[in-house]
Amino acid sequence: MATITYLTRIEFGEGEVSRLPAHLAALGITRPLVVTDRGLVAAGVASRIMELAGAGAALFDGTPANPTESATLAALALFRSANCDGVVGLGGGSALDLAKAVRLLTNHAPPLSLYTAVSGGMARIAAPGCPMVAIPTTSGTGSEVGRAAVIITDDGRKLGILSPHMLPNLAICDPELTYGLPPLLTAATGMDAISHCFETYMAPAFNPPAEAIALHGLETGLAAIERATRNGQDRDARRDMMVSALEGAMAFQKGLGAVHALTHPMGAIRELNLHHGTLNAVLMPAVLRFNRPVIGAKWDRLAAICGGEPDSHVAALNTRLGLPSGLDALGLTPAMLDQVAEAAMHDHCHATNPRRAEVADYRRILEEAR
């Protein structure tokens, strides 16, 4: 037996964001809280969305690079003081995840640790919060169609909050919003999307639709990422990377794996503040090699898509994209890696890796990725 559920409403296309007023009205939102970050304020993107959101909109621009519970509570306080009736998440995965956490707390009491997957929190999420619209400005996490928010809780752990009730009511996917993304950020976020497709396909759960979507997202992303990185104005490449991100997240309700089990605790190392997609890219070759003995014919399918051994293909792709050569280049010390290997055992993605990993396995994967 298998329960297979898909998903939420998506409006996809160039210029689609201009229809935001009509979408808000259809959801009954008159005073949205727009959750974003200071980079998008500086770039002028947030001001455009605020104009579209209407005179009653309030702006929270304090999203950290890795979203935190304290930032969530600050945004929630603004939501309440401004008498908001909906949330608009604008940005990459950090802003979208923060917006989803704010929405959760509009009808659930804190702390967020109550609702994390590793604490059985899904059962405590009883209903959606206020209406929410998600507007991605990167092509990576796919959080706009994901049922999770990954937040650093007040106890310092980076944990997933999972529930169908976390899905935004509407995702507005407008590739034009990604045209100005710098090359390195394009590469790093794109490899995040590609890692979702790899890991979902390898995950052991029975979900053929998810596997089909993941394979299409993988093919699409691998074909487009270098073009999008070289030329941010390549319309077809930008569209295809947004498709890859969307499909990776649509599929990963099937489960992720060791890459994410390791990168979540790495993202919680506050003195480094590491980018999630970059970490995924660096770890992917070693995790592919670790999983190869148990995934059978799936390895051959991945090799056909990659045009060669998947681990070697990803390693070479990382080099061509200009991504870091390994974890040492990111400032991770052996002591940090020891802590990450231990913490990975308690991440919700640990349980859905196709090959059972122990602490020593995770430590070997990290050593290979140095």
pLDDT value of position 7: 76
pLDDT value of position 253: 87
CA distance 44 to 105: 28
pLDDT value of position 5: 52
* Same domain for 205 and 111: no
Placement of tokens 């770039």 in the chain: 43
The string of pLDDT tens digits covering residues 269-322 is: 988 989 999 999 999 999 999 999 999 999 999 999 999 999 999 999 999 999
Residue 141, token pair as written in the block: 């996490």
* Same domain for 219 and 164: no
Q: The whole model's pTM is what?
A: 0.92
The answer to whether residue 4 is domain-embedded is no
The one-character DSSP state at 37 is B
CA distance 352 to 298: 16
Number of domain units in the chain: 2
The answer to whether residue 148 is domain-embedded is yes
How far apart, in Å, are the Cα atoms of 226 and each of 132, 138, 230? 33, 15, 6
Residue 41, token pair as written in the block: 């304020």
Which of these three, 177, 204, 238, is where a domain ends? 177
* Same domain for 154 and 39: yes
**Does the pLDDT value for residue 336 go beyond 70?**
yes
State mean pLDDT over 145-171. 92
Helix or strand run (H / E) with residue 132:
strand 132-136
* Same domain for 220 and 93: no
The string of pLDDT tens digits covering residues 226-249 is: 999 999 999 999 999 999 999 999
The rounded radius of gyration (Å) of the Cα atoms in the chain is: 19
* Same domain for 237 and 336: yes
Q: What is the mean pLDDT of the chain?
A: 95
Nearby residues of 63 by Cβ (< 8 Å), 6 or more positions away: 35, 36, 37, 71, 91, 94, 95, 98
Nearby residues of 367 by Cβ (< 8 Å), 6 or more positions away: 337
345 with 253: CB under 8 angstroms? no
93 with 99: CB under 8 angstroms? no
Sorting pLDDT into bands at 50, 70 and 90, what band is 180? Answer: confident
**Does the pLDDT value for residue 101 go beyond 90?**
yes
Host domain of residue 300: 183-368
pLDDT value of position 252: 87
Placement of tokens 């090799």 in the chain: 303
The answer to whether residue 350 is domain-embedded is yes
Which of these three, 135, 156, 177, is where a domain ends? 177
Sorting pLDDT into bands at 50, 70 and 90, what band is 42? Answer: very high
Which of these three, 177, 200, 226, is where a domain ends? 177
Determine phi and psi for 161, rounding to 5 degrees.
-110, 115
**Does the pLDDT value for residue 1 go beyond 70?**
no
Determine phi and psi for 72, rounding to 5 degrees.
-60, -45
pLDDT value of position 270: 86
* Same domain for 252 and 172: no
The string of pLDDT tens digits covering residues 203-226 is: 999 999 999 999 999 999 999 999
**Does the pLDDT value for residue 43 go beyond 90?**
yes
CA distance 264 to 250: 19
**Does the pLDDT value for residue 125 go beyond 50?**
yes
* Same domain for 264 and 160: no
CATH number of domain containing 245: 1.20.1090.10
